[in-house]
Amino acid sequence: MFLHSVLFLVLWLPLALAASNYVNTTRSPTTITKGANISKPRCPSKCGNLTVPYPFGIGLGTGCSIDPSFEINCNTSSNPPRPLWDRNLEVTDITDSHMRIKNWVAETCYNQRGNLTEDSQVNVYLPQNFGFSEMNKFMVVGCDDVAVISGTTGRNFTSGCVSICSSKESIIDGDCSGTGCCQTSIPNGLQNFETSMTSIDNYTKVWSYAGCGHAFLGEQDSFTFHKANLSDLTFLNRTIENVPVLLDWVIGTQNCTESHKSNNVSCQQNSRCIDPDNGLQGYRCTCFEGYEGNPYLHPGCRDINECNQNPCDPRGICTNTPGNITNLKSCLGFGFLTLIIGVTWLYFGIQKRKLLKLREKFFQQNGGLLLKQQLSSNEGGMESAKIFSAEELQHTTNNYAEDHILGRGGYGIVYKGILSDKRIVAIKKSRIMDQDQIEQFINEVIILTQVNHRNVVKLLGCCLETEVPLLVYEHVSNAAKLVERCLKLNGEERPTMKEVAMELERFRKHNVQTWIQQEIPQKSVALGLTTEEPDLYQVSINSEFVIGEFSEQNTMESCRYMLSTLLAKW
């Protein structure tokens, strides 16, 4: 079966230092910062390294945002400027559905005697249209800590985890399941949380390798635990800078259905209103598939011209259509050609497989397994008979070409073929087969392949992979020429009866008489070869036929019967 080509998308992941505690987080697709209009007219769209798209806006009270809770204060006293939001929370990224901000970390530290030297907890409230994403985890790093996170706005929620260490050797890098590090999930819709931390033994048993505990909410997979974190004095600041908190956001206070009823939907052209599943009251707008841009600003989303990314072969012709990737009829090139070749290859592979299955079905249906069993049980049987494949006989007859026909009978056609060993054979292609006499047919094939008599055309083997079995005989060239002269010549070139008689007499004297040896009965035999119009490659096996009991009278009668039958056609 054929294997066709498959295209793979290769994702290049950023490399990080081996000693780093932090890993990149997969970002959701963003189209809101693409297109001609990112912010409202006469409103800036950049603060430092951050692109600020509407409904967010830069400047307090400037009207650049959809609501005061979406205002970004750009602090230009820093280099680069720092985008600050809601009580000086630094924003690092804004996408179509999320916002990332820098972290807060709760910390408790103890001295060797078990006295508390540092205790800072976290208590955060978000504006109405924002919530902590469930893609965050509440994480605790320490060796003697019990930490609790709770929230009351948006969702009533309380959870926590315990992080302890039995020994320094029990701590495993990358493992955050309770030894040196633990974590727990938070629900959607949470809009505030506060932390509280306590210690079991005030770090007295682990102070030699861990003196502080830390608790924080951070984006899932953005933090990787290392045992070195337990004694790292810079851990708090590095976590604030490098482990973001992921926030969900929506606009308005109603869902899409309610907003449509009140005619208060901000979604522009080529976009639609969606009800997010983040537990917040409100809605968002998103561009139609194949479009990008800011769905909250006029004129809305614009069609993506995929031809700019050259989806076709460089020599191909690409035509972009609205909302679609490309017009397949217009995207002509190497890729399309490869697709056609692949489909064609697949089609012919399937057809070939079907043909093989059909041949196998015919082989079993025509007694192939029984024949193999008979040949293997008869000593020397495999040398006397051969099972030909359908493909082999098709090749030897040039796909059963007209110019390979030796003669026609009432039930079949005889073709001339040349085997791979250069032997010339005659292939009998019958038209019917009695399925009730399969076993008798196989037995007659076994007998006939062992017959070696001057008056009988030798059966070399058969093919059982066709609907009606094919029989392969030795080729008798002189007889064939006689048939050709009798049947193919016209007018004055036709041989006289005297010439025919002389020719038959020559055959008799040279012991090459090979016509049928008895009168052919009207009924069919299992081989399906006995017809009302006998041919050269035809033998009946029954109780009246005994190998060796041939007489001159019998052979001449057969010749006369054959000749009279041939002449009757004229």
Binding site residues, as ranges?
Answer: 429
> Tokens 């217009």 — which residue?
330
> Tokens 């600003």 — which residue?
297
DSSP designation for 200: S
Helices (H), 397-513: 438-450, 477-488, 497-509
CA separation, residue 203 to residues 119, 163, 165, 487, 555 (Å): 14, 12, 10, 114, 117
Q: How far apart are CA 370 and CA 380, in angstroms?
A: 17
Tokens for 449, please give them: 């392949």
Categorise residue 471: left if φ over 0, alpha if ψ from -120 to 50, beta otherwise: beta
CA separation, residue 415 to residues 169, 252, 427, 505, 525 (Å): 86, 86, 5, 26, 21
Dihedral sign computed on CA atoms, order 450, 455, 461, 466: negative
Q: How far apart are CA 487 and CA 444, in angstroms?
A: 31
Q: How far apart are CA 153 and CA 156, in angstroms?
A: 7
- Residue 31 backbone dihedrals phi, psi, to 5 degrees: -120, -15
Among 425, 426, 430, 424, CA closest to 409: 430
Among 132, 138, 103, 107, CA closest to 121: 107
> Tokens 């002449």 — which residue?
567
DSSP string, 77-110: TSSS-EEEETTTEEEEEE-SSEEEE----EEEEE
Instruction: Name all contacts of 485-492 with Cβ < 8 Å and 24+ positions apart.
Output: 486/563, 486/566, 486/567, 487/407, 487/566, 487/569
Structure-derived torsion over alpha carbons of residues 564, 565, 569, 570, reported in degrees to the nearest 10: -20
Contact 428, 539 (CB under 8 A): no
Return the number of other C-beta atoms located less than 10 Å from residue 2's C-beta.
Answer: 12
- Residue 369 backbone dihedrals phi, psi, to 5 degrees: -65, -40
List residues forming the annotated binding site for ATP. Answer: 429
* Three-state secondary-structure class, residue 224: coil
Q: How far apart are CA 141 and CA 164, in angstroms?
A: 9
* Cis peptide, bond prior to residue 495, ω within 30 of zero: no
Longest dimension (CA), the chain: 135
Q: How far apart are CA 333 and CA 315, in angstroms?
A: 6
Which residues are CB-neighbours of 118 under 8 A, at least 6 positions away? 107, 108, 109, 212
